Structure 1
Amino acid sequence: MGEPIPALRVRALDDSPPRASGRYVLYWMVAQRRVRHNFALQHAAAWAKRLGKPLLVLEALRIGHRWANDRLHRFVLEGMAVNGRRLEAAGVGYYPYLEPAADQGKGLLAALAADACLVVSDDYPCYFIPRMVAAAARRLQVRFEVVDGNGVIPLQASPDAFTTAHAFRRWLQKQGATHLLQMPLADPLVALPARKARVSAEIGKRWPKLSAKTLADPTRLAAAIAALDIDHDVAPAPMRGGAEAGEAQLRGFLQDRLARYADDRSSLEHDASSGLSPWLHFGHVGAHEVVAAVLAREGWSPDRLGDPKLTRGSREGWWGLSPGAEAFMDELVTWRELGHIYCWHNPDDYMRYGSLPSWARKTLAEHADDPRPSLYSLAELEQALSEDPLDLSSELNLAA
């Protein structure tokens, strides 16, 4: 079937056999929006090779999601431009779709899935994505698999939602080595024969693809975004979206700031942060890619892992890396994946106050009556109306 991925990373939401009459394998890219280091794309490519069918990648951007604005739309669309170029070079069909108005994208996935042998998508634990994907799987009546490419630890491997970072570290240091060595292929399409999937003209007419020219031309892209009914007050950020920009950010971090990370990551004057958050958030860069790059730079091998009986959940010492790399891996793996795992085990209420662990609610309650010279509404904070100079500076930076 091609290069297999760990079984713990795959869930069949519809376990019916692949449709023999299907014309292609469809990968619905919703969270891991990249071509490289992508378990879901690797799994879809393996299915395509096994069935002797072409692979088609659908990447769509809805207009109706919360906080839709120029900044987020442009960042995601710049990622689509990179994905389009890379999939074209690999000979894989790509269907980038920008919803022009609310609900106009409805029916596209179902139409493409009607001609598919099966559908593969991303298993992501947060925001509206789990509900959206589950609803699609119930509706499409075709084999539908989701693949977890969120982090080093498969979500299904976690026994429970850890309420402290220390508890997660202790478990990670005992169980994590096996998962750490199970990396996605850097190029999941390397063994897939170049073969473009054919999409019916009716689909293309009703839901027109976003053209490669529009994606490649900043002026055309800006015009396409300006025509949308979204929040235009939040201007695009100075950084570019997409895997190429994210990979460049990673290279710069490894070269210039990783060695200082342990000491300077929280310093405003000597910033040593990775700056990778937006690319990780939108899936333009994956955690596995970052981990692999750090370990390669450190000349790491598995025999450098510490003894969990000695490290006992400590922040340092288990990875067997330099201080800067140890500190960064704790942020990237411990803290980032702790959040994903918590959402996975608490899918319905992770955003509610009551879902906080008891120790956190106890601490908040103890400080509920602390003196506060000023109380601001959410609207005032959003408009940077605070009188505190540090808070005001932070709010203005967020609003910029």
Structure 2
Amino acid sequence: MKSENIINKINLDKDYYSILSNREINKKNDYVLYWMQGSQRLSDNRALSVSAKVANQLNKKLYIIFNFVSDYPEANYRHYSFMYDGIKEIYENLKEPGIRFIVTKGDIVTNIKKWADRSAITFVDKGYLKPQRNWRNSLNEKINVPLVEIATNTVVPIQKVSNKEEYAAYTIRNKINKYVDEELFIWNLPELNNKCNLDHIEPENFTDKDAFLSSLKLNNDLPEISSFTGGYSQAKLKLKSFIDNNLKDYQENSNDPDLNIQSNLSPYLHFGQISPREIALLVKDEAELNPAINPEDFLEQLIVRRELSFNFVYYNKLYDSYPGALPDWAKKSLEIHADDPRDYIYSKSDFENAKTHDYYWNAAQLEHIYTGKIHNYMRMYWGKKILEWSPDPESAFNLALYLNNKYSLDGRDPNSYAGVAWCFGKHDRAWQERSVFGKTRYMNQNGLKRKFSMDEYIKRIKKISGLSKIKGDK
């Protein structure tokens, strides 16, 4: 039996899956394997639900495998600590449903192949970035059973929305919103017909977080952060806090760094620890109960803007490089002004250690260092100033990606690549031409002072950094 035949039996829409290889299902093997990679959750996980439905169709057991690689590009101890929390929670929660959970570490393709070859069929959640896509393609070349990829980390599958790279939010918004209502439902995990009675499998010292993470030999030179703990249960707490305390003010005040009206869910979305569908449904439910709440701006960010970034990295192979990530008008304009004199030029060390002349930029970088995240508006300002104070746009682009991917818990993500590229003109329009920036959007300190008081933001950054004074403070 081919994989497409069994998927047809569970009535799965073709927009949700890609058959990477349509080999024969090996019915002699006694389990279906779900390779959990980008969707690190049990709740509303389409890839997991489909794997379970197919296991029931074939009357097989269901195994889940997750592999820790220690050499993921630009990832460090901070990222792995957050990810570990989520995987450990899954490990604990899977002791009852009859699903065997296998945790491995080391070479991802080698380790997944070992278990995939003994499965009837293997499923994996859809990957969008180059390392993830390379893993899937490499595994597919080496295994002898079908490999099927299931889209689960966007509300609407990107290939259902568009078959090309979209120019901006206004070109994709209606294409996404056309399907949103029909896509907002939870993919529940069905009861399994054939439950496992086998123990989980994990590497040595897995249940000891410090010992396990130490064994991965990760770069651990960043300050420990307390503002985020990984895992689905923590994501739900953040979401509840946002809905209870900030959602009502998000539409009007989300850009104000003083007020800090954010969901703080982006790290959890990055690691797939909670689904955007579940977030959207709970936000919409709250808005229905409280007519004073307008959820449109939040849903625009969660669905349209986020899925625009997935469209970008999926269809543009140069999403992480200058100038390939940018539209033609921005490339030309920035190159024309590449040699313009800069009032300030800072080194990588100056930027990284928050040693510029700009009080507010330094505060944003300190927030980055000590919390693993920058307030959304300040992140835009932060990126624009790197462009302004670097010797040329290419070095600015590379530095912004380096800093973002190193310090942000939600770095190395479609949103991050799109966000950095936005500072250089991606998904934006041409503005009035000026020195250094060309026709890309300009931001300055006076604009911050005019729009916001910034006092509470600075107090907050001083508190989390333990600094009584931030460089640039007069």
Q: Give the TM-score normalised by structure 2.
A: 0.71
More contact order relative to length (CA 8 Å, sep ≥ 6): 1
Structure 2's unaligned 5+ residue stretches are 1-5, 371-474
Is the aligned partner of 1:171 residue 2:175?
A: yes
Task: Give the C-alpha shift of residue 367 in structure 1.
Answer: 5.3
Amino acid at match of 1:153: V
**1:269 maps to what in 2?**
258
**2:188 maps to what in 1?**
187
Paired with 1:93 and 1:164, the residues of 2 have a C-alpha distance of 43
Change (3 A) 1:194 1:18: closer
* Equivalences for residues 9-28 of structure 1 within 5 A: 9-28=16-35
Paired with 2:256 and 2:140, the residues of 1 have a C-alpha distance of 46
Task: Give the C-alpha shift of residue 4 in structure 1.
Answer: 4.3
**1:29 maps to what in 2?**
36
Provide the identity percentage: 23
Paired with 1:3 and 1:260, the residues of 2 have a C-alpha distance of 42
Change (3 A) 1:18 1:185: farther
Paired with 2:130 and 2:257, the residues of 1 have a C-alpha distance of 30
**1:128 maps to what in 2?**
131
Is the Cα contact below 8 Å between 2:29 and 2:119 reproduced in 1?
yes
Is the Cα contact below 8 Å between 1:384 and 1:392 reproduced in 2?
yes
Is the aligned partner of 1:82 residue 2:75?
A: no
Change (3 A) 1:172 1:94: same
Change (3 A) 1:355 1:344: same
Is the Cα contact below 8 Å between 2:239 and 2:265 reproduced in 1?
yes
Paired with 2:368 and 2:330, the residues of 1 have a C-alpha distance of 26
Give per-residue Cα distances to partners, 1:208-262, cap 9 Å, x unaligned: 6147x843xxxx3123223432111124431110111011111111111111001
Task: Give the C-alpha shift of residue 169 in structure 1.
Answer: 1.4
3-state SS in 2 of match to 1:136: helix
**2:163 maps to what in 1?**
159
Amino acid at match of 1:148: A
Paired with 2:187 and 2:240, the residues of 1 have a C-alpha distance of 16
Amino acid at match of 1:47: V
The equivalent position to 1:230 in structure 2, one of 198, 201, 218, is 218
Is the Cα contact below 8 Å between 1:11 and 1:146 reproduced in 2?
yes
Structure 1's unaligned 5+ residue stretches are 301-320
Change (3 A) 1:44 1:165: same
Paired with 1:168 and 1:97, the residues of 2 have a C-alpha distance of 39
Give per-residue Cα distances to partners, 1:135-192, cap 9 Å, x unaligned: 111111210000111212212111321111111113334x324xx323453532x322
Is the aligned partner of 1:209 residue 2:202?
A: yes
3-state SS in 2 of match to 1:351: coil
Paired with 1:90 and 1:163, the residues of 2 have a C-alpha distance of 44
How many residue pairs are counted as aligned between the two chains?
359
Change (3 A) 1:88 1:8: same
Paired with 1:275 and 1:40, the residues of 2 have a C-alpha distance of 25
**1:221 maps to what in 2?**
209
CA RMSD of aligned residues (A): 2.4
The equivalent position to 2:122 in structure 1, one of 119, 123, 133, is 119
Paired with 1:171 and 1:366, the residues of 2 have a C-alpha distance of 35
The equivalent position to 1:334 in structure 2, one of 304, 311, 316, is 304
**1:287 maps to what in 2?**
276
Is the Cα contact below 8 Å between 1:5 and 1:184 reproduced in 2?
no
Task: Give the C-alpha shift of residue 33 in structure 1.
Answer: 0.6
Amino acid at match of 2:139: A
